[in-house]
Structure 1
Amino acid sequence: MSLYEQIVNKQEKIAVVGLGYVGMPLAIAFAKKIKVLGFDLNKDKINLYKSGVDPTNEVGNQVIKETSVDFTSEEWRLKEAKFFVVAVPTPINSDKTPDLGPVEGASIIIGRNLSKGSLVVYESTVYPGVTEDICIPILEKESGLKCGIDFKVGYSPERINPGDKVNTLEKIIKIVSGMDENCLEEIAKVYELVIEAGVYRASSIKVAEAAKVVENSQRDINIAFMNELAMVFDRMGIETKDVIEAMNTKWNALKFYPGLVGGHCIGIDPYYFIYEAEKLGYHSQIVLSGRKINDSMGEFVADAIIKRLVIANKIVKNAKVVILGITFKENCSDTRNSKVGDIITRLNEYEIEPIIVDPIADSDDAEKEYGIKLTKLEEINNVDCLVFAVAHNEFVSMPFEIFEGLYKDCPNEEKIIIDIKSILDKKKIREKRYSYWSL
């Protein structure tokens, strides 16, 4: 009987290692069909899951309460599983080089608890070669087993879009790969249990690894192009959104918009490609240029804020600036690698300590990541400048009159609005003679 058949018959378990924005929804989905062990080193997170709380807001508390996932932070319990899915983060170091610490750590833990006949699938984003050249040797060393004989390995890049309630896990085609044909088919059939959109069988593990890095690098480059245009159009006195709307009337327009590019995928994955390319003697030109542009956008926005404050005759270091949103994207509580942090850092250079409002962000994570305490909107008053940084539904649907009530009692020309995501009705705002700027 194959491992797949044993899993379907609930004679063997799947273990999902890493229960964040990627691993947790995957564990939940699998648990509807088979036995699942959900493992994470973070005991506080595990306790939240066990008590029916979803700190990621990806599936909701009710789903967590009803799931059959067996949540644990006890490493030894991984011995109960034969099919492992690694969904730990792969961040970058301060020098922009890959930080493989989490994926190496997960490999060590799995290796210590690996048994013959097991299959390990990595979902963490890496550059081509990491699974075979770095992870397999760790698994072999820790387990004392031989890859290809005692256990097998595959790679299936995660494609979950945090905060997206439309393009969910089940509706996104899953790329799968394996070290040999039998391994590939086992992995494909397991994922087909939950992926309604179907799976794509990549020709090799390296191809699957590369596909993930490239798809995010492609988006990064396209957004960088729009960001560069936005910086030039700002000097020309042209509204970038107006240009894009005109351009998008053509059938083959790509419909990308300028913005802050952060998070744990698009803002990080290109550096994995750049790192491996340079190791092979090739200095990236397009990908690296795109990263430089996107990494500079926080400072560009902050400088636009300062310029508006000066034009409005504000004393810059005494100005009260409120930033709406700290997460890396809308309707998502994840604050990791949010480029709003770059805006804050730049404003700090001008001795401005902005107030941050975000009803969705995890307050503990925000304080740990950026050293800030979140403020509730109802506590805000006497504002000089409102910065709409993240397009949370709560901000988009809020009547503008509520925001109007937050400003100081002064002429509208001195009330500044920075609309990074262009979510406001600029015509209405300008009719009121507010000082308005958008990216």
Structure 2
Amino acid sequence: MKKQPCISIIGLGYVGLPLAVAFAKKFKVIGFDINAKRIEELNDGLDHTLEVDNELLQSVLKHNDDTGLVITNDQNLLYQADVHIVTVPTPTDKNRQPVLTPLIKASETIGQIMKKNDIVIYESTVYPGVTEDVCVPVLEEKSGLKFNQDFYAGYSPERINPGDKVHTVTQILKVTSGSTPEIAKYVDDLYAEVITAGTHMAPSIKVAEAAKVIENSQRDINIAFVNELSKIFRKLDIDTDAVIEAAATKWNFVKFTPGLVGGHCIGVDPYYLAQRALEVGYNPEIILAGRRMNDGMGEYVAQEVIKMMVQKEAKVKNGKTLVLGITFKENCPDVRNTKAIDVINELKAYNMQVDVCDPWANPEEVKSIFNLDLLTDCSKLDSKYDSIVLCVSHKEFLNLDYKALKNKNAVLFDVKSFLPKEIVDGRL
């Protein structure tokens, strides 16, 4: 490893910022993002994603020649770096096709400032082959340098779990890889400097890419299985949660619970693997079946709520419903690819007035993305509702007076099996 490399981090979101802060304790780090508002916020020592403690962020912003974090949208400053780490999002489009545009744009940015012997490490989730077959040619074209002769590449998939304060970036074992054996060792040693949980050096970049994409695909399939069980057991009038608790007493049973599967990883990554499989002539049946099951759960939840309202003779048309939570998971402000919006839209399709309350989400972001006016202080709710749907198990929702919020015959549906069983009318 170079005595004291300078590292650039391209993309300062839920993944890039925690990584930049971790490296900045030991190295000089240049954090780059194209979002000027995000740059201004971070330079003020504030992180709205809540992934990095503001005090910790402020401490690494006090940089010197050898360590600390410089946050910028000035591409020219990236020239100082010897190692460039790309942490931009890799979403899908409306047709569930991988969108590699952010990755390609980031590669163009690096290629324009890249020097001889620089190393580019990708952390964004991709299908096997993207680093070497898509990104490297862009780097070569923009830089005029030759791969594995003038510059090198690595891949080390991100494993950050947004909102998780236990499994933080340094506490999650890191898979690493490089484009040559020497570079693989260099990349592994570099991450080992800050990842206290340890590292695992994969034999190739493609292996590391594949490992990441199957991690979330496996979880997606497992949740799809219990979501299907929930549908079956609701028809049989059996408590799904009780069934899972009983089955979990066996030593080799893997416990998953039903629910809405959103977020930027689990709800997206399987499509990357499926797309690559289709390109090489294989139809991935199980992966896509799991996706279809999980993608349909928001609509299913809303329809189950409507059925229960009809049975209880609650007001449906022009009735009022309260949806609790719009983030993709509990105690986290991330609304990317949230499936709560599917519940909301389906309820609106039945001509219901829908209020949405979430103390964690950013109202401006929710308005911009979903065109919804968000309520954030659930303790001040003063309406009565014909149905209440808890989509996200934020801790604040445990303290609400549900009896006071319900009209006569109202339905309280708990998607997450979060509330006391005796107060809810239905759950998955």
Percentage of pairs with the same residue = 47
Q: Corresponding residue for 1:233?
A: 233
Aligned equivalent of 1:31, options 24, 31, 35? 24
CA contact (8 A) 2:140 2:146 kept: yes
In structure 2, distance between residues paired with 1:65 and 1:322: 39
The residue identity in structure 2 corresponding to 1:395 is F
User: What is the CA deviation profile of residues 184-209 of structure 1, one whole-angstrom value per residue up to 9, with x for unaligned ones?
Assistant: 11111110111001110000000000
Give the whole-Å Cα distance in 1 for the aligned partners of 2:220 and 2:76. Answer: 40
Structure 2 residue 154 is the aligned partner of structure 1 residue 154: yes
CA RMSD in angstroms comes to 1.1
SS in 2 for 1:323: strand
SS of match in other structure, 2:152: strand
Aligned ranges 1:112-127 → 2 under 5 Å: 112-127=112-127
How far the C-alpha of 1:362 sits from its partner, in A, is 1.7
Match of 1:422 in 2: 417
Runs of at least 4 residues off by over 3 Å = none
Q: Which residue of 2 aligns with 1:392?
A: 394
Q: 5 Å matches for 1:154-233?
A: 154-233=154-233
Shift of 1:380: 3.7
SS of 1:333 mapped into structure 2: coil
Correspondence for 2:362: 362
Q: Equivalents in 2 of 1:21, 1:380: separation in Å?
A: 34
Instruction: Report Cα offsets for 1:118-172 as digits up to 9, x if no partner.
Output: 0000000000000000000000101111111111000000001110011111111
- The residue type equivalent to 1:24 in the other structure is L
8 Å contact kept, 2:315–2:386: no
**Alignment partner, residue 58 of structure 2:** 65
What CA distance in whole angstroms lies between the structure 2 residues aligned with 1:222 and 1:92?
Answer: 21
Post-superposition offset of 1:312: 2.1
Deviation at residue 80 of structure 1 after TM alignment: 1.3
Per-residue CA deviations over 1:71-106 (Å, capped at 9, x if unaligned) read 101111111111010000000011111000110110
Instruction: Name the counterpart of 1:374.
Output: 374
Q: Is the 8 A contact 2:309 2:410 kept in 1?
A: no
The TM-score normalised by the length of structure 1 is 0.94
Which structure 2 residue ranges, 5 or more long, are not aligned? 62-68
Q: Cα offset for 1:268?
A: 0.3
Distance 2:251 2:340 in 1: 33
**How far is the alpha carbon of 1:315 from its aligned partner?**
2.9
Q: 2:405: which partner in 1? A: 406
Kindly tell me: are residues 268 and 380 of structure 1, through their superposed partners in 2, closer, same or farther at Cα, counting changes over 3 Å?
farther
Q: Which residue of 2 aligns with 1:22?
A: 15
Structure 2 residue 35 is matched with structure 1 residue 42: yes
Paired residues in the alignment total 419
Aligned to 2:266: 266
Letter in 1 for 2:403: E
- Measured after TM superposition, the shift of residue 64 of structure 1 is 2.0
1:322-337 to 2 correspondences below 5 Å = 322-337=322-337
The aligned counterpart of 2:65 is none
Deviation at 1:425, TM superposition (A): 1.1
Equivalent residues in 2 for 1:241-256, closer than 5 Å: 241-256=241-256
Task: Please list every run of 5 or more consecutive structure 1 residues that lacks an aligned counterpart in the other structure.
Answer: 8-12
Instruction: Confirm or deny: 8 A CA contact 1:344 1:353 kept in the other structure.
Output: no
Residue 415 of structure 1, CA deviation: 2.6
Deviations 1:376-430 (A, max 9, x none): 311342122111110112223x2x5x2322223x3xxx13111000011113x2x
* Secondary structure of residue in 2 paired with 1:178: coil
Is the contact between residue 316 and residue 386 of structure 2 (CA under 8 Å) also seen in structure 1?
no
Q: 362, 377, 385: which is aligned to 1:383?
A: 385
Residue 10 of structure 1: aligned partner: none
Of the structure 1 ranges 328-337 and 368-377, higher mean CA displacement relative to structure 2 is found in 368-377
Q: Please give the secondary structure, in 2, of the residue aligned with 1:145.
A: coil
- What do residues 252-308 of structure 1 show as CA deviations (whole Å, max 9, x unaligned)? 110111110011100000000100000111111111100000001001101011112
Q: Distance in 2 between matches of 1:373 and 1:80?
A: 44
The answer as to whether partners of 2:113 and 2:143 remain within 8 angstroms in 1 is yes
Alpha-carbon distance in structure 2 between the residues aligned to 1:6 and 1:29: 15
State whether residues 37 and 70 of structure 1, in contact with CA within 8 Å, keep that contact through their aligned partners in structure 2: yes
Letter of the 1:46 counterpart: I
Distance in 1 of aligned mates of 2:329 and 2:160 = 14
The question of whether the paired residues in 1 share the 8 Å contact of 2:417 and 2:427 is answered with yes
Structure 1 position 282 matched with structure 2 position 277: no
SS at 1:228's partner residue?
Answer: helix
**1:254 & 1:351 partners in 2: Cα distance?**
40
Q: Distance in 1 between matches of 2:85 and 2:126?
A: 15
After TM superposition, the score normalised by the length of structure 2 is 0.96
Any conservation in 1 of the 2:178–2:184 contact (CA below 8 Å)? yes
Q: Secondary structure at the match of 1:258?
A: coil
Amino acid at match of 2:412: I
1:417 partner letter: L
The answer to whether the 8 A contact 1:108-1:142 is kept is yes
8 Å contact from structure 1 (residues 336, 369) kept in 2: no
Q: Which amino acid aligns with 1:407?
A: K
